A and B are shown apart, each in its own frame.
Chain A
């Protein structure tokens, strides 16, 4: 387990990148981007984890209990918001591409553009 979470993060990053580059649909591509971003959640939380420590909520904890890192959790929350926001924006562009050009395929859209 020493490196395992980091390996998972790296795999997610590369898998998302692969999916985004080879995607044939902007809808699929947008989801691949969220997979890519999920790698940063895993990495951040893995960095902030301490074995045997409690969640960073002091309610009901004895004073002096070891807690995990609350900072990375706050960063991850911000990260999740960014992820949803980017998804929504790319999808709304994809909807328009479908309406205006009749396709959500990146290659076809490029050809239509000329």
Chain B
């Protein structure tokens, strides 16, 4: 395992570099095959790590620089190197990233006819960035991976550089994300100045022995802003809809499936390991209240904007914002149930959103636009049936039908907010999920069944000139169409099936407990002391939560 582990980041990066070096001289199919193989390997290693990290997180010190006792003796240690701390959540997140990139690369098989090697190199660098971002246990290292992911993301977003809207979306994306990154770096520097450490757990331990000062609040605020900008949570969601709408389907699928929610996940990890030990009592309650209000705001803004949007890709962007609200609500509770259900929801919903975006990419390719009003009834031909089924399945799945897909995790979120005394949040979230998923179904019904009117005064008006289709080679018969859809269907199957992992909820809550038990986690990371195995918690969602879940599914229109 320790042989394979560093490869999860090193492999995509080294292949990216080699493809850039010699890619132009290879026969046409080879770069495609190599890139797909690499993404598959990353996914496989991540899944192995997921299995392996079931009992306790795996800790890997690069260069072999393990922590050493500090000059003050125990319990203070100095960590001179950088560690990857791979808990089940991080491994699951890495597997999600691998899977999304794999599906996208298959979807984009010979999709871009020119300068392909640049596209592949950037995709793999993007993958390496996301995986490292998910796994790293060092604050500055997280920032560096964040930048790698962002830089590759800006370039991929602007792939169709000839359109002004693409440029505007990409520029917004690049500028706002850079500002967020600087805020984050400010916070990191302040934490380093105050604790003299960069390892997450080390910072957390040192911080908990200090008197709380303004520094802690300021650095928490700066880091929170940085991550919320990246995740596109309200009120920082402005860039997201533009960027997702203008990116090619291939890039947008990865953005919506992984990139944004990954920021929530890493934020949760930083909060639990660095700040949770020092922020307790009423301060913690204040953090929860603040994050919950941002979560509700995101869910509401996302759902309303989604329902009022006619452009299907933008709908998915706002759907992402809305789903992000549910994720943030889970994280905001700062307890094991909240954290575990948030991560499970990230993975399940991310798979479905990725598939949805790929499906919409096909819609644009075949029908020439992504505007649902203009597309009304244009998908009624027989050959579009699989595509319609795909999009409908994604929409249904995102509405969390019991017992499939995101249903389990969503019910857990409802349950967790209810237990934490935020009973009113659960119905709001349920309504938002229903509205945003319902919008997808509305669009699917309008496009593929011809339901509804050609005009709708409620929906945002689109600029007159029709968009041209994606630069995609002409269709080559039914087999090719199915080939392009198959990765999206595979994502849907994975998304639906995820809820049936044996004792999934129990395992997730167990992993969250391990992370949130700071003393135990610190012993594991800094001293290599493996915690004693715990019995799996027994967990079943309460009837109330199941009710909300079912209601949110039934409530879609």
Contacts and interface: CB of A to CB of B under 8 A. Distances in A.
Interface of A: 13, 17, 20, 26, 29, 33, 36-37, 39-40, 43-44, 47, 71-72, 75, 78-79, 82, 85-86, 89-90, 93-94, 96-97, 100-101, 106, 109-110, 112-114
B30 interface: no
B192 A100 contact: no
Contact of A33 (B161, B175, B190): B175
Given A17-B179, A78-B144, A90-B175, A96 B151 contact: no
B144 A110 contact: no
Contacts of B186: 13, 39-40, 43
B155 A100 contact: no
A114 to B, nearest CB: 4
B162 interface: yes
Given A40-B182, A86-B178, A94 B171 contact: yes
A47 B175 CA distance: 27
Contacts of B193: 43, 47
Which of A36, A86, A106, A114 has the most CB atoms of chain B within a 10 A radius of its CB? A86
Given A33-B179, A112-B164, A90 B174 contact: yes
Given A86-B178, A110-B168, 17 more contacts: A13-B186, A17-B179, A33-B182, A39-B186, A40-B182, A40-B186, A47-B193, A71-B192, A71-B198, A72-B192, A82-B144, A90-B174, A90-B178, A96-B161, A100-B164, A109-B167, A114-B165
Contact of B171 (A36, A40, A93): A93
Report the contact-size class of chain B (Cβ under 8 Å from the partner): 20 to 34
A75 B140 contact: yes
Nearest to A30: B175
A6 to B, nearest CB: 9
Interface of chain A, helix or strand or loop or mixed? helix
Contacts of B162: 100
B71 interface: no
Nearest to B176: A20
A43 to B, nearest CB: 5
Contacts of A78: 140, 144
Interface of chain B, helix or strand or loop or mixed? helix
Which of B147, B161, B171, B198 has the most CB atoms of chain A within a 10 A radius of its CB? B171
A114 B198 CA distance: 45
A72 B185 CA distance: 12
B163 interface: yes
5 contacts: A33-B175, A33-B182, A71-B198, A90-B174, A96-B161
A34 B64 CA distance: 35
Contact of A93 (B144, B170, B192): B170
Interface string B140-168: 10001001000100110010011111011
B535 interface: no
A17 to B, nearest CB: 7
A89 B165 contact: no
B463 interface: yes
Nearest to B461: A114
Contacts of A26: 171
Contacts of A36: 179, 182
A89 B189 contact: no
Contacts of A44: 189, 192
Given A43-B186, A90-B174, A100-B167, A82 B158 contact: no
